[in-house]
Homo-oligomer: A and B are copies of this chain.
Amino acid sequence: MISDKKIKAVFIGAGNLATNLAVALFNSNCHILQIYSRSENSAKQLATRVKSAYTTQISEIINSADLYFICVPDKIIPEIVSELHISNGIVAHTSGSTDIQILSNIKSTGYGIFYPFQSFSKNRIIAFNNIPICLNANNDKTFTALNSVASMISSKVIRMDSETLIWLHLTGIFVNNFTNHLLAISHQISSEKKFNFELLRPLIDETVKKAFNGNPASSQTGPAIRFDQNTINLHAEKLKEYKPELAEIYKALTLSIQSLAEKI
């Protein structure tokens, strides 16, 4: 499959990840043959961007690609897999929490997982070079093929078994979804209490820098780690009046910081 010829890829899905990955491969001189999406609008939009054909029918998916990327929400993968009729090339899903075995019934040449470890948005195309791409494959030959494609766009390609992948994905939820939510809560507070959200930026930047400079558990600061019960009570009271569910989060995270501190 991997030769001097252009890699031919098909995308099943046209969402945030599909858009970023298809654009990255297109810019690395891959040939994007076709985009499939249930939404004609999404399919067309991405197809235009990467100069490919598109379809809204799974039965019309072209059988001549080298590589098929399944980029749909996790719960749709089984449905896609059962309807996909191809006899050629490699099929890879891009989910961090779906076992590789889900692809084993497809009559493709090989199958695997191609999981770029990043949070994507359609309207924010980002460079792939530093994004880790985690791979898993049904055999070494398939791994070698996926590895060649991943290496075209990223300098950080890692082979990873399904169990480790799940744990990596879980940490991704902690550092992306949950951190983003803490920022969303802070954004809401800043807008309601009338101060500029930008004031928070140097603090979060330093938090991240410091965490990767050593072990984040040992550089924890603040009232929780100091077991400063007066301040903790003041905050709990303020939050309870403002939004009780935030008081719950404050309490859960405070206790967890203290519990980790006692173990260090």
Contact = CB atoms under 8 A, between A and B. Distances in A.
A39 interface: no
A201 interface: yes
A57 to B, nearest CB: 24
A184 B216 contact: yes
A104 B158 CA distance: 60
Q: Is the interface of A mostly helix, strand, loop or mixed?
A: helix
Contacts of A197: 212
A131 B202 CA distance: 6
Interface string A227-264: 01011001100110000011011101101110110000
A29 to B, nearest CB: 23
- Work out how many copies of this chain go into the complex: 2
Interface residues of A, number: 93
B167 A202 contact: no
Contacts of A180: 207, 210-211, 216, 219-221
A210 B167 contact: no
Interface stretch (A41-49, A62-70, A119-127): A119-127
A183 B170 CA distance: 12
A33 to B, nearest CB: 27
Interface string A139-176: 00000000000000000101010011011101111111
A203 to B, nearest CB: 5
A214 B102 CA distance: 37
A119 B207 contact: yes
Interface stretch (A1-9, A80-88, A185-193): A185-193
Nearest to A126: B206
B231 A124 contact: no
Contacts of A199: 117, 132, 156, 158, 168
Contacts of A206: 118-119, 126, 176
Q: Which 10 pairs across A and B sit closest by C-beta, in order of nearness?
A: A177-B222, A171-B186, A184-B217, A167-B193, A184-B216, A183-B216, A183-B211, A174-B182, A175-B204, A132-B199
